[in-house]
Structure 1
Amino acid sequence: MPIFNKILEVQTNEGINIHSITPEVEAVISSTPIQNGQVLVFSRHTTTALAINENEERLLQDIKVYLRKLAPESDKYLHNDLHLRENIPADEPMNAHSHLMAMTLSTSEVIPIIDGKLALGTYQSILFFELDGPRKRTVFCQVFGE
């Protein structure tokens, strides 16, 4: 079974932001001969995540509010006691809340490919969540099948 790998880059903004990477993943699939199989989409960072959901602006705002309620930035977190941690870079942010938000989501999604296209539902998009931006992020895509 042939396997094709590609790294996508996503430049993010400050705080929580959500990007539809569906067009980029579709382009990866189109660049391969795979007609039927799967694509693995994997976030390569501990303060980012992936989900499949609707890319609708008001829903995206609701998601941000929901995530901030789950892990408020203002709460006390042991991870943020930087002076108690070893080998911490000088620019290390206090971002425990971002790690916790990422854990409530997922680091990867596997989506079927049928006839060379993503088998997403009508309102489904592949959403990339930046939880600790701004940063340059990478997403690993692996397309496999026949």
Structure 2
Amino acid sequence: MPIINKLIEIDTNQGINIHNITPQIETAISSTPIQNGQVLVFSRHTTTALAINENEERLLEDIKVFLQKLAPESERYLHNDLHLRPNIPPDEPINAHSHLMAMMLNNSEVIPIVDGKLALGTYQSILFFELDGPRKRTVLCQISGE
């Protein structure tokens, strides 16, 4: 069974932003001979996440508000005491809240491929969550099957 790796690059904006990466994953799959199998979508960062959900503008705003309530930026977090942490790079951000939000979501999703297409439901999209932007991010798509 072949395994093909593809990287998707995403330029993100300030704060929490949600990107529908379904089209990029569909393009990655269509560039392979795989007709039936699966794609592992993996976020390679500790302050990003992935989810399968509806890509509807008002729902996406609700999700942002919900995440901000779970881990408010204004709270006091030990991770943000940069002066107490060893080996901190000079550009280290104050971002404990972003790490905590990421823990409430997934860093990977596995989606079946059937007849060369993602087997998503009617309202399902693959969403990439930036929780600490702006940054250049990468998502690994590992496509396997026959």
TM-score range, shorter chain: over 0.9
What fraction of aligned residue pairs are identical, expressed as a percent?
82
- 2:79, 2:106 → 1: CA distance? 20
Q: Partners of 1:23 and 1:91 in 2: how far apart?
A: 33
- Which one-letter code corresponds to 1:3 in the other structure? I
The aligned amino acid for 1:4 is I
1:113-132 equivalences under 5 Å are 113-132=113-132
Give how far 1:97 is off: 0.1
Report deviation, 1:106.
0.4
Q: Which runs of 5+ in 1 are unaligned?
A: none
Q: Secondary structure at the match of 1:25?
A: helix
- Find the aligned partners of 1:142 and 1:90 in 2 and give their Cα distance: 34
What letter is aligned with 1:64?
K
Whole-Å Cα distance in 2 between the matches of residues 71 and 49 of structure 1?
15
Per the TM alignment, residue 91 of structure 1 is displaced from its structure 2 partner at its CA by 0.8
Structure 1 runs, 4 residues or longer, greater than 3 Å off:
none
Give 1:82 shift.
0.2
- Please show how residues 68-107 of structure 1 align to structure 2 within 5 Å: 68-107=68-107
Taking the TM superposition and a 5 Å limit, the aligned residue runs for 1:46-57 are 46-57=46-57
2:143 maps to 143
Cross-structure match for 1:14: 14
Could you say what secondary structure the match of 1:139 adopts?
strand
Q: Deviations over 1:92-145 (max 9, x none)?
A: 001000000000000000000000000000000000000000000000000000
1:35 counterpart = 2:29:
no
TM-score by length of 1: 1.00
Return the alpha-carbon distance in structure 2 between the equivalents of residues 52 and 86 of structure 1. Answer: 37
Superposition TM-score, scaled by structure 2 size: 1.00
SS at match of 1:73: coil
CA distance in 2, matches of 1:41, 1:69: 27
Q: Tell me, which stretches of 5 or more residues in structure 2 are unaligned?
A: none
Q: Distance in 2 between matches of 1:77 and 1:94?
A: 9
Instruction: Write the deviation string for residues 34-60 of structure 1: whole angstroms up to 9, x where unpaired.
Output: 000000000000000000000000000
Work out the CA distance in 2 between the residues paired with 1:114 and 1:106: 23
Q: AA paired with 2:21?
A: I
Matched residue of 2:123: which SS? Answer: coil
